[in-house]
Amino acid sequence: MISRRIIRTKVLQIFYAHVSSPSKTMTQSESELHFSIRKTYDLYHLLFSLLNELKDFSKDRIESRRLKNLPTKDDLNPNLRFVNNRLIKRLGVDKSLNSYLSKNKLNWSHYPDLIKGIHAAMIDSDLYISYINSETDDFKNDRRFCEDFFSEILVNSDLMLNELEEQSIYWNDDLDFAISMVIKTIKKFKNEEDQNEYLMSLYKDEEDQEFTTKLFRKAILNNHENRRVIENYTKNWDVDRVAIMDILIMELALTELMEFPSIPIKVTLNEYIELAKYYSTNRSSTFINGILDRITRDFREKGRIVKAGRGLVEG
């Protein structure tokens, strides 16, 4: 599930925290890195359970309206399309999902205001109104609504963003990615009787898990050497005035360029330039691109960057 871009992002965040806290050991910081990645996986599961919470909230709301002193015709004959959503029912009995949620004690029970607020935004949306009034009533339509709920309603919910920031510092930048993985998973379900296990594993494969650990450890171990290299290539700049995040991004890029011969140079450079656009100053991506380009050309000539594998000889 966790993409290489998310891995690089998490490594950068914890690398920054590590160098900012000299008392931290590499082991402590590495544990924090893996915890941070696990929190993204937690959020992935929590988003699935949010659908069930909203369904239960809708059922309670319908029942309370039915029992009021002077119920209207709509109160007595409510539209049950959402509470009978076939995909949500399927997720409600998904063994791997429920096992993970239970094992890690993940739920929304302590956030009734959040559920109420998201529910209100949902039922007021054109998406919801169109869905419950649609002439098509089948699994495919139910699944499409759930996909659109995440991509059109939840991803734009300030209420959800604010709540996630309060719940965990590790979730500040995770919502968009987690939602994209939820949608990707939802698309795999064929019907409500489909018993296949579609939820993603934490890492795509062992190689990604090894990439995470090696990138982080090598960045710390080579910290001083990489810093010296960067200083040599920024002699026309006052290195003390270069943003610390710029330096750390270049250090990670150097680590990846030299320690991972199977990753193309262009891939590494593009990934860290993108990180610079998001995590550093407006001019950082151009600055970082220029410095890394010079270092890469020189290091390749000196044989310090060697790429091996089909299609990688020329970088």
**Rounded CA gap, 307 and 260, in Å?**
8
> What fold characterizes domain 222-301?
N-utilizing Substance Protein B Homolog; Chain A (1.10.940)
Question: Is the pLDDT at 311 greater than 60, yes or no?
Answer: no
- The total number of residues written for the chain in this structure: 315
pLDDT, one tens digit per residue, over 228-279 is 999 999 887 665 567 899 999 999 999 999 999 999 999 999 999 999 999 9
Task: Indicate the average pLDDT of the chain.
Answer: 94
The CA-atom distances, in angstroms, between 41 and each of 72, 110, 161, 175, 216 are: 44, 20, 17, 11, 19
> What is residue 56's predicted lDDT score, i.e. its pLDDT?
97
Sequence spans of domains, the chain: 4-186, 222-301
pLDDT, one tens digit per residue, over 187-229 is 999 999 999 999 999 999 999 999 999 999 999 999 999 999 9
Instruction: Give just the sign of the alpha carbon dihedral 64, 69, 71, 77.
Output: positive
* Token output for 136: 């098509």
Q: What is the mean pLDDT of residues 117-126?
A: 98
Percent with pLDDT over 70 in the chain? 96
Q: Per-residue confidence at 1, pLDDT binned at 50, 70, 90?
A: very high
Question: Is the pLDDT at 17 greater than 90, yes or no?
Answer: yes
Question: Is the pLDDT at 103 greater than 70, yes or no?
Answer: yes
Which DSSP string do the residues of the chain spell out, in sequence order? -B-HHHHHHHHHHHHHHHHT-TT--HHHHHHHHHHHHHHHHHHHHHHHHHHHHHHHHHHHHHHHHHTSSS--HHHHS---TTTT-HHHHHHHT-HHHHHHHHHTT--STT-HHHHHHHHHHHHTSHHHHHHHT-S--SHHHHHHHHHHIIIIIGGG-HHHHHHHHHH-GGGTTTHHHHHHHHHHHHTT--STT-----PPPSBSSHHHHHHHHHHHHHHHHTHHHHHHHHHHTTTTS-GGGS-HHHHHHHHHHHHHHHH-TTS-HHHHHHHHHHHHHHHS-TTHHHHHHHHHHHHHHHHHHTTSS---STTTTT-
Q: Per-residue confidence at 44, pLDDT binned at 50, 70, 90?
A: very high
Question: Is the pLDDT at 305 greater than 90, yes or no?
Answer: yes
Angle at 7 between CA 26 and CA 39, to 5 degrees: 80
> What is residue 315's predicted lDDT score, i.e. its pLDDT?
43
Question: Is the pLDDT at 282 greater than 80, yes or no?
Answer: no
Please report, in angstroms and rounded to a whole number, the separation of the first and last CA atoms in the chain.
27
If one compares 74 and 177, the residue with the highest pLDDT of the two is: 177
Residue pair 62/83 in contact (Cβ under 8 Å)? The answer is yes
Q: What is the mean pLDDT of residues 299-313?
A: 80
> What is residue 99's predicted lDDT score, i.e. its pLDDT?
97
The values of phi and psi at residue 237, to 5°, are -115, 150
> What is residue 280's predicted lDDT score, i.e. its pLDDT?
85
Question: Is the pLDDT at 108 greater than 80, yes or no?
Answer: yes
Question: What is the value of pTM for the model shown?
Answer: 0.93
> What is residue 172's predicted lDDT score, i.e. its pLDDT?
82
* Token output for 48: 């699935």
Percent with pLDDT over 90 in the chain? 88
pLDDT, one tens digit per residue, over 149-171 is 999 999 999 999 999 999 999 99
Residue pair 243/6 in contact (Cβ under 8 Å)? The answer is no
